[in-house]
Chain A
């Protein structure tokens, strides 16, 4: 054997160039048969409503900031990307920096949730989560951190209920859907009837959503990731990071049918958010009502939410303290890639540090 993943026998003259156990392991990993610990930071359930759960992470260091951080994630994939694995967890990093951290997890919708709407999630569950956070003794003011679609939800919540919101951080948040690139074409009303899909599927399957995302860069996503795996394996490198990311990428959740139809029709097809025409919970969402400090971050190489799609938020809000940053990286790599610890994490922490006491 030339090498083993765990640093076994060194290469020798009798070494096999292609050890069978690595081949078997590679096959197992390629088919999702090898698991890795993800989302391991200890946390407690603060509140639940239907599938929505509010978590509070246990402190790992002395709390140094009075303003807690509430994370809001998207309706696709699972939020453990924020706490990917030990050694690569943005949430754990914030805990180490002395923050009180909460996470709102929308959960995995079942057949009974196919009529769950964005109104219910944004105008009811999100404000309730904020109330429960306060009830749990987190204080009146808070920072809201939205990632991807969660950033759009966070911005809408900030516009509908600005009271108590000290800081708003939006990471790769889709705002101006005029700039949604290929998605704009695929969701064109001439080609897609989202309500027909919602009726047909009930909940739009995770595989359909996943396929849509992967087809943006089909070769990279279907071939490239497998090549990276085999390469790393052949080089005897640690596979934990690849396994964790691969697990998350393929661990999607269905999109509640009605919420999906609203999302495609009102946002992608009609671009109503920037036009101030979106109504959530019976109220018009006017992003101009946002006056919290704003840090809006886009990934320079993000092809899912290109910078042009995220950037306009800064021009729409009323916040006097209003910053836009473009950081090298893609949609996910920005947060959980190898460069995140040097780029995104300190950017967010430095910004929050001066606004959280």
Chain B
């Protein structure tokens, strides 16, 4: 490690520590890195982790049993309540997606209708005999071929 305290007046209080550190650190680091790459270390750390996890589980079980005895809500009870809220949030999110899709459809229909109203409909349709539908069948009197409705939605507020 490079000395960086030289720009400071007076005695460097860390010089001795730094020198000692500099002398041993590389060997020390290399030795430690050799240790952590051995099978023995991997086995020991794996065993430690497993025991730590088991201890955690045992502690949780004991706490749960105590809380049950005292008629107190446990961490699991609280977690279940939070999960219900999260599920509700997910449903709201899905509804929001659906509403967005509907709004987009409405916006697309509106755009088509606006284009038609402006006379910008590009594909001129074949003239049909008056009073017939596309299939050539007569429509009942008074029936309109138009499905045009007043669109209620404006531009997508989320866009």
Contacts and interface: CB of A to CB of B under 8 A. Distances in A.
Interface of A: 2-3, 10-12, 15-18, 48-50, 110-112, 128, 131, 135-137, 182, 185-186, 188, 190-193, 196-197, 199-202, 208, 215-220, 223-224, 227-228, 230-232, 234-237
B42 A234 contact: no
A135 B25 contact: no
Contacts of B5: 231, 234-235
Q: Sort A-B residue pairs by CB-CB distance and give the 4 closest, nearest first.
A: A200-B53, A11-B9, A191-B46, A112-B79
B8 A11 contact: yes
23 contacts: A2-B10, A11-B8, A12-B9, A49-B90, A49-B93, A111-B75, A186-B42, A186-B46, A191-B45, A196-B53, A200-B53, A200-B57, A201-B53, A220-B29, A223-B25, A227-B18, A230-B14, A231-B4, A231-B18, A234-B12, A234-B13, A235-B6, A235-B7
Interface stretch (B32-40, B65-73, B117-125): B32-40
Given A50-B90, A182-B37, A227-B21, A17 B11 contact: yes
Interface stretch (B81-89, B105-113, B131-139, B142-150): B81-89
B152 interface: no
B86 A112 contact: yes
A228 B5 CA distance: 11
Given A11-B9, A182-B36, A219-B32, 11 more contacts: A17-B13, A49-B89, A50-B89, A185-B39, A196-B50, A218-B29, A218-B32, A227-B18, A234-B8, A235-B5, A235-B6
A110 B82 contact: yes
Nearest to B53: A200
Nearest to B7: A235
A10 B7 CA distance: 11
B154 to A, nearest CB: 16
A17 B10 contact: yes
B36 A197 contact: no
B54 A200 contact: yes
Contacts of A12: 9
Given A10-B9, A17-B10, A193 B50 contact: yes
Nearest to B156: A135
Interface of B: 1, 4-14, 17-18, 21, 25, 28-29, 32-33, 36-37, 39, 42-43, 45-47, 49-50, 52-57, 60, 75-76, 78-80, 82-83, 86, 89-90, 93, 97, 100, 158-159
Contacts of A236: 7-8
A200 B79 CA distance: 16
Nearest to A137: B159
Contacts of A227: 1, 17-18, 21
Contacts of B45: 186, 191, 215
Count chain A CB atoms within 10 A of each CB in B13, B14, B49, B159 and give the residue with the most. Answer: B49
A11 B10 CA distance: 7
A354 to B, nearest CB: 28
Contacts of B17: 227, 230
A187 to B, nearest CB: 9
A86 B36 CA distance: 37
A218 B17 CA distance: 19
A235 B4 contact: yes
Contacts of B9: 2-3, 10-12, 15
Contacts of A182: 36-37
Contact of B1 (A188, A196, A231): A231
Contacts of A215: 36, 45
B106 to A, nearest CB: 15
A193 B159 CA distance: 47
Nearest to B21: A227
B139 to A, nearest CB: 41
B12 A185 contact: no
Contact of A197 (B18, B53, B82): B53
A196 B55 CA distance: 12
